[in-house]
Amino acid sequence: MSQTILHPLRTPLYERHRFNLARMAEVGDWSMPVAYGSQIEEHHTVREDAAIFDFSHMCVVDIHGVDARMFLRKLLANDIGKLRSPGKALYSCMLNMEGGVIDDVVVYYLDDECFRMVLNAHAASRDIEWILAQVVETKSSVTLVARREDMVRGDVEALAMIAVQGPNARERVFRAIPSTRAAGKVKPFNSIIVHDFAVGEMMLGRTGKTGEDGFEMIVLAKHAGQVWDMLRSAGISAAGLDAWETLRLEAGMHVNGLDMDPQTSPFDVGLGWSVDLGPERDFVGKAALQARRQDWQFVGLAFEGSAAVPRTQSPVMSLEGEMIGKVTSGTYSPTLRIAIALALLTPDIQVGSYVSVEVYNKRISAKVVRPPFVRNGSPVGEQ
């Protein structure tokens, strides 16, 4: 029986978003909730308390096989060999042969023959093609199993992803779903699999891109609605992707396709810390990465007064009018109450200096700062 594909695609929580009058928009190939009411209120709720997000458009891929660890050590710029305890997670870039960023991923170590990788939604199909090509190239004994609803095959069960983020997120999850209290001692960038009588297996990873504490919960898609209802019934507010965008920008977190792409290296975008160039391991793009120079530096821009929000690709110039870079993403910061942006500038520009950004045919002054803008709900330094 053929599978009916909806365009745009819908997550398992789509009907709940519509029932709760969420404002929906097409995000990539997906119909996603961008706000349930006030984006600003949703943003502040995450900074001050906790809220839940539907991230089921992200793609979970399980990598099985006796060569799984060895294969991932060759595939990723960070060294998966560092993961020795089940549940440990690793952030890494996946590079092309020229050392450019194909995607940034989080990988969880489940056991010696199974690792779980979370791919960005818009890049998932391209990523999987690339990974499969590397399986063939390296003649590795591994199998990729995509777990997103539009990709599952055979008797594989689809997974959904729900994030609960905010300073009170973990305690609120424990109250909403008592079986999750087993995750009480999980440290940041670690995960645990728990079993709940009502909804079966759940993986809770203490990860996220809002700059706040919390969990990213990977659950069976068929039970995602029930998990969502349990969290909502416990009084946890829902938030849309517009709030997530302002949160991640305040936290200085990257989005693939905006802040980095196959033309930029991890060093260009401030992710050198996620690259392991140790001599005992080779990986895709390593030689090119070692040979290329750093063309850019990844910085934040803080705008004064009531400046308009800069758009992606807005030109950045020195105060003398020389072109020195571009904005990669920008927003209004609800926490700081100013416009902010992430940008790629030439390496000689100093943090603390001022630059000029072209916004709607006007040049607006901005201060070069070091991301993040906000940490643990509070401004970082003087912006």
> What are the residues facing 118 on neighbouring strands?
60, 106
Q: What is the dihedral of CA 337, 342, 347, 352, to 10 degrees?
A: 10
Q: Which residues contact 339 (CB under 8 A, 6 or more apart)?
A: 303, 307, 308, 309, 310, 330, 331, 332, 333
> What are the residues facing 358 on neighbouring strands?
363
Tokens of 263: 């033309």
Whether residue 216 is annotated as binding a ligand: the answer is yes
Distance of CA 91 to the CA centre of its chain: 10
SS3 at position 368: strand
**145-166: b (≥16 Cβ within 10 Å) or e:** bbbbbbbbeeeeebbbbbbbbb
Residue with tokens 């940008």: 343
Radius of gyration of the chain (CA): 21
Q: What amino acid is encoded at 215 in this protein?
A: F
Q: What amino acid is encoded at 112 in this protein?
A: D
- What does the alpha-carbon distance between residue 316 and residue 306 come to, in Å, rounded to a whole number? 18
**Is the separation of the CB atoms in 162 and 169 below 8 Å?**
no
- What does the alpha-carbon distance between residue 58 and residue 303 come to, in Å, rounded to a whole number? 32
The sign of the CA dihedral 84, 209, 296, 350 is negative
Q: What amino acid is encoded at 191 in this protein?
A: S
Q: Which residues contact 351 (CB under 8 A, 6 or more apart)?
A: 299, 368, 369, 370
CA separation (Å) from 120 to 87, 106, 187, 224, 275?
A: 20, 10, 23, 19, 19
Burial of 2 from C-beta contacts in 10 A (0-12 / 13-18 / 19+) = exposed
Q: DSSP string of 139-195?
A: T---EEEE-STTT--TTPPPEEEEEEESTTHHHHHHHHSGGGGGGTTPPTTBEEEEE
Residues flagged as binding site for substrate: 216
Binding residues: 216
